[in-house]
Structure 1
Amino acid sequence: MYDQYQPPTDPNGGAIALTAKYHGMTFILGLFRPLMLINGHKVPVSWGRTVIPMPAGQYHVHVHVPYLIPPRIGSADSVVPVYPGQVVEVEYRAPIIGWLDGTMGPPPQRHRGMGAGIALMIVPLVALLCVFGLLGSAAVFRTSSQPVAVPTFNPVPIPSADPWSPAPSTSEPAGTGPSSGGATPSASASLPWPDVRPTLKSVPARTLAGPSWAAGDQTYTMDIKGVPFAFRTPPTWGCIPGKIEIKNAKAWVCIDEGKPFEANAPEPDRTKRLQFMLRPCPNSCSNADVVAVARDWFDDGAKVDFVDERTSYVEVARNADGRYILDMSHIITAPDGTKWQLAVGVYSRPETKSPVQKIVNDMLTQAG
């Protein structure tokens, strides 16, 4: 079902070091090996630390544990940037409860469901003690012709605190898409839009390059909490929070998931990718500021076309890697009056660029 990952030989590359852990309460997971996917490619890993050489770049990493019922547990996704000569430490922890997601990111992580797992262990134990207590009471108070000697016991101190008291658990939302829930980006800056799911607006379509979505196209609506607009992608796509080295920016990455865990589902198209970010426009967001933030997003030396005073883009028919590129910088206004840059970048094979063009055109239309 998955393409097997082949370790690269790039001397200027880096590596992802995945440390996979399960809790002692779920020791049965030791009988199963975790499954890791990097950009949809299966990577052989095991419990403990595994180092995977990677070329420099940004990667979508997915980990879960193949199981019996359910067939997979502890799904977790993350976007991992790899820089030349760097080994990026990533920790994955399987959950205590099978139907919960796992956690993955920079170490240390926590096992989800710790409190519920302890409760599930304690409740049967308490019930068992109650049963034995009732049986003991019946034995003591049963009718007998001989007097029953009642022993005396010296009291012992009872601990005032539960030594198994768990640390507070955290919950990180996964991605958004046909196979997952809503996404909240992991960056520290807060967005000025309400943390609710946006809806598609009935507005005239705007076109940056190529076609837009037509009435008969099959699409999936990305309605990410905190993002001020919804937009449409092909139906097998999904988006997850990303990280970007730009101050006060929040970023997302969207790829074709291909629904790989569903029967007779299409394989993901790994030749297409979307990434976008939101960040405040500096100062008064003058024309010079608009140009400056656009230049930050576009590659050095790129030929920039301005549609209007708020919107610019770069389109490359075929780059050195044989990819079609479409990048956009667009300024939008928040409810509090501040100006924000919406920066979008997509790539695909030149002969299959139509879907990514439609996504960018839809984002421009819906962003306003």
Structure 2
Amino acid sequence: MKNLPYKKEHDIFRQSLRRFLEKEALPFYDEWEQQNYIPRNFWRKLGEQGYLCPWVDEQYGGFNADFLYSVIVNEEMEKVGTGLIGVGLHNDIVTPYLDSFGSEEQKKRWLPSCISGEAISAIAMTEPGAGSDLANIRTTARKDGDEYIINGEKTFITNGHSADLVVVVCKTNLEANPAHKGISLFVIENGTPGFTKGKKIKKVGQHANDTCELIFEDVRVPASHLLGEEGKGFYYLMDKLQQERLVVAIGAIVAAEQMVDITVDYTKQRRAFGQPISAFQNTQFKLAEMATEINIGRTYVDSLIAKHMDGVEIITEVSMAKWWLTDLAKKVATECMQLHGGYGYMEEYEIARRFRDVAVTSIYAGSNEIMKTIIAKRMEL
């Protein structure tokens, strides 16, 4: 963090957000885990305080903040719990599609409500039969006069059950060769006839993060809901994946830092054989190893944040960061649970939640196997 250009206003923003979360999120987080979603009133409070999409232009309700504000929001949310990742998805993954590729009319229609917290957003890429292989999605959008008719099914959609606006990845040209040139993006509003939400999916972790299937049956949307140009959807997705994977990497390094911090505190308090377990050489070595790797990871991800802010293309580096840091976070979770002993397996201890929450980070936003494929391809192997 010391290498990033934080200013006094960034520090004030962080402290303000931290106080807000201590009051409005931490006391209720276990309840949100039980109910499997974050209540809408919390989203509205985030909007009222300026914590949603602060980077958006002032004319739509934002305040033209730099990316460091997004970093701060993602870091402070992760410190509360990974189940708050839906806020980061709304802020820095979905809304940028509207801002970058939307028409002026679309921006005026949707961005203000995304900033105020009145509208929660989601992006629907994954299907029951298509994950990383986006070119083979089966959801279609067929032109019919000045409308499109959308049919298909999406799954594992973060914010899906709460979403008011969904950016949906569709095939508009089934004959396109290569297939990815037939992909387009549409914005579908909650309540549109034919658009239904499946039940919330029961996941191993991230219980506060609502996830569900979305079903589209002869959903008619006006042509004005096409985002950008027809057939350019795949290129829009590729354009935004750099930031998406950087956001995941930021969350992973913060999760690892949090897990080591709570484990250091625990090992100082837990006694065995007449002394704190922090006095045992094995405990010290394990924590020293993790602290070292985390420090290396933090230095790397901060360097990528700086490059991203400068507009540098870091596809290879961010792919490296995404796979290495999420794998590191999973390793840290396992080691920290072990150092907690039997208590680490109890839900009342935070490390248990962290252990189950971090598992999926190596899968979403492109699996780590896909990250290695990208790296290898860009090495011209």
Please report the TM-score for the alignment, with normalisation by the length of structure 2: 0.22
Return the structure number with greater strand share: 1
Please report the TM-score for the alignment, with normalisation by the length of structure 1: 0.22
Return the structure number with greater helix share: 2
